[in-house]
């Protein structure tokens, strides 16, 4: 449990999932030019790899600002309310977040996404949210489809999140093949900063060290 301005949130425990840790570690490995760890077996608790993933999980929540963002989104309706004065999650996703995601991808920087899957005033429910990494996109008229890395589907390269952006004031279902139980209500770009992963990484790509 982590103490936050909104109460205790159950993150940082591998039993509750390490999705954000996997996302940040994947980006660390990409920037460092290193392969993932070669051992495919689940690492033991307390190992260097589990400690690294847990530490990067906590970093991915950007405490306290990230926690407050998840909480605010979890307590916002899907559609605009008060005659449009209060934007809903669909508008917030379409108008504020998708442009940020596209800019990062166009700049060659995959973007971690915070997926909001709950509507709840209970901070403990935030642990049911999820994180993925968007690395590509395709427009078909007003519909955007993001290609994503999902830690719950580690070997899948066909995972996507799709949203019709034509009516942002109304609730628009987010279609996805992300491996989670609940629906995605909306998503936002997560701030990322690099950490050197070479203590837990596999060998460098092309057999060369990369200090990126």
Asked if 202 contacts 148 with a C-beta cutoff of 8 angstroms, the reply is: no
In a domain, 212, yes or no: no
Residue with tokens 């580690």: 154
- Quick one: tokens of 162? 């799709």
In a domain, 101, yes or no: yes
In a domain, 204, yes or no: no
115/131 Cα distance (integer angstroms): 6
In a domain, 44, yes or no: yes
* pLDDT score recorded for residue 83: 84
Q: What is the pTM of this model?
A: 0.90
In a domain, 148, yes or no: yes
| Domain assignment of residue 77, given as a range | 2-193
In a domain, 46, yes or no: yes
Number of structural domains the chain divides into: 1
In a domain, 11, yes or no: yes
> In tens digits, what is the pLDDT along the chain, a chain of 212 residues?
556 566 666 654 444 579 999 999 999 999 999 999 988 778 888 899 999 999 999 999 998 899 999 999 999 999 999 988 899 999 999 999 999 999 999 999 999 999 999 999 999 999 899 999 999 999 999 999 999 999 999 888 999 999 999 999 999 999 999 999 889 999 999 999 999 999 999 888 765 544 44
CA–centroid distance for 143 within its chain? 20
* pLDDT score recorded for residue 84: 82
* pLDDT score recorded for residue 41: 79
* Cβ atoms within 10 Å of 55's Cβ, excluding its own: 15
Residue with tokens 């508008």: 91
* pLDDT score recorded for residue 211: 47
- Quick one: tokens of 198? 């070479």
In a domain, 164, yes or no: yes
* pLDDT score recorded for residue 2: 58
């Amino acid at each position: 449990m982590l103490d936050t301005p909104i109460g205790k949130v159950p993150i940082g425990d591998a039993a509750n999932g390490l999705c954000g840790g996997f996302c940040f570690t994947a980006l660390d490995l990409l920037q460092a030019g290193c392969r993932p760890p070669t051992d495919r077996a689940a690492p033991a608790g307390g190992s260097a790899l589990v400690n690294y993933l847990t530490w990067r999980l906590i970093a991915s929540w950007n405490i306290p600002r990230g926690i407050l963002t998840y909480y605010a989104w979890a307590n916002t309706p899907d559609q605009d309310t008060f005659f449009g004065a209060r934007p809903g999650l669909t508008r917030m996703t379409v108008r504020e977040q998708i442009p940020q995601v596209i800019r990062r991808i166009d700049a060659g920087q995959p973007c971690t996404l915070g997926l909001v899957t709950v509507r709840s005033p209970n901070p403990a429910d935030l642990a049911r949210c999820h994180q993925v990494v968007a690395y590509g996109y395709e427009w078909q008229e007003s519909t955007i489809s993001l290609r994503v890395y999902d830690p719950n589907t580690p070997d899948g390269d066909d995972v996507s999140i799709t949203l019709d952006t034509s009516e942002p004031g109304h609730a628009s279902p987010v279609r996805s093949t992300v491996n989670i139980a609940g629906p995605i209500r909306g998503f936002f770009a997560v701030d990322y900063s690099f950490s050197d992963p070479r203590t837990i990484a596999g060998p460098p790509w092309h057999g060369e060290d990369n200090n990126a």
